Amino acid sequence: MQGNKKIVVKFGGSSLADHERLLKAVMAVVNESRKGTKIAVVVSAMGKTTDVLMSTAKNTSNGKLEKHDLDDILSMGERTSVRIFSAALKSNGANSCYFDPIDCNWPIITDASFQNANPILKECEKNIKECILPIVEKGTIPVIAGFLGKTKEGKVTTLGRGGSDTTAFILAQALGADQVVLVTDADGIMSGDPKIIANPQRLKEIDVNTLVGLADSGAKFIHSKALKYKPKNVDVKVISNANGDLSSEGTLIKGVLASELDAEIAHPTPVVEITVIGNGISANPQVITQMVEKVKENSMLLGMSMSTNSIILYVPKEKNIDVLFNQIHKITVANKETIAMAVKKDLVFLKTSGVGLEETHGIIGRISEDLRVAGINISGILTITSSILLFVDWNEKEKALKLIKNSLKTR
């Protein structure tokens, strides 16, 4: 298997921050190549180079710097990295070449959204198969500048946050790679941010749909924009640069994300909204626990929202729902923090999801306005990771679903 293995390896800036780390990265590639593994390498700018270029450019331009000029300047970090990395590979006995956006065979073609360009996947795949795949197949190691693209007119672009990971994922898809290896300064994806949590644990495996929730919550693992390019049948392994070994253990990222925004009826039967009001409910988590436990005993919890003085539970409307109502009411009158409860029946649970939802400005407002104009009242709305959860009248389900889908198309 080893001799037939094909991987894409991406080194982040922290893995190339000084000559010692850079040499460790180079030797990790050389040693893996000697096993017969076919490798394509994606590199970021070394250390904090991009930050220095950004600061210098902005502080010397009096705020008049054009976006396409800034992209051209920022590209110098990665364009330097590919030259150094490829030269070091050759110095250590490997066959290598590098790819720069100024080259006619540059693979990553994008639109002209400078600072946050979007790859044109058909163009990218065609170029990769024509220009990079033959090189990889014969055992030469191509080194590609991550984070960068080029318009059809030849102007350099940058891909925005997670850009180097995006480059690696697009390469892996077109090359038919067995795995993407992301080399970072962490042991893998951790159970918590090591800068905040004292003893976080390395996760052996995580589904990409779970990971995007962490990414959208501000955790610096992999940006959600990059995750939408993760190939369906290619696992991604996140490892530490400290080991200097591409076969070392890390965290495996599995699965694939839906790349387009869409809406669906998330539960097939009517839903009930149970609202409990009081004073300082959030100060007594035991009350909340009691209610959630009763829901679990009788049904399932589809959603929940809470403030200082109220808690709202969304559960399926089932035959024994009156039993649950009375149990929740019993908890309500038995605790000093809770005063009364109300029930709203026959709602539909609608879910809007897709990568990039959090970057689509005004989408909640647009959906809400379209429903308002149509006379459809929103009973409840929750947002979590790349999802918007809506509850409206069951009898309006088809109309509401159609309106939401149309709202997403006009983004």
Residues 311-328 have pLDDT tens digits of 999 999 988 899 999 999
CA distances, 359 to each of 174, 225, 362, 386 (Å): 27, 9, 9, 9
Dist. CA 392–CA 271, nearest whole Å: 9
Encode pLDDT of 217-249 as tens digits: 555 578 878 888 999 889 999 999 998 999 999
* Architecture in CATH for domain 262-409: 2-Layer Sandwich (3.30)
Structure tokens given for 282: 């959030």
pLDDT > 80? residue 79 = yes
pLDDT digits (tens, 9 = 90+) for 94-124: 999 999 999 999 999 999 999 999 999 999 9
Under 8 Å between Cβ of 295 and 315: yes
Residue pointed to by tokens 């190549």: 33
Q: Give 259's pLDDT tier (boundaries 50, 70, 90).
A: low
Write out the residue limits of the CATH 3.30.2130.10 domain(s) in the chain: 262-409
Q: What was the pLDDT predicted at 1?
A: 40
How far are the Cα atoms of 145, 292, 323, 340 from residue 166, in angstroms, in the given order? 11, 40, 51, 51
Residue 355, pLDDT score: 63
* pLDDT class of 198 with cuts at 50, 70, 90: confident
Mean pLDDT of 65-71: 94
pTM equals 0.79
pLDDT per residue over 27-51, tens digit each? 999 999 999 999 999 999 999 999 9
**What's the one-letter identity of residue 349?**
F
pLDDT of residue 214: 73
- Parts of the chain belonging to CATH 3.40.1160.10: 2-254
Mean pLDDT of the region 341-354? 91
Of 125-134, 135-144, 345-354, 394-403, least confident by mean pLDDT is 345-354
User: What whole-number percentage of the chain has pLDDT above 70?
Assistant: 94
What pLDDT score does 220 carry? 56
Domain 2-254 top-level CATH class: alpha beta
Residue 68, pLDDT above cutoff 80: yes
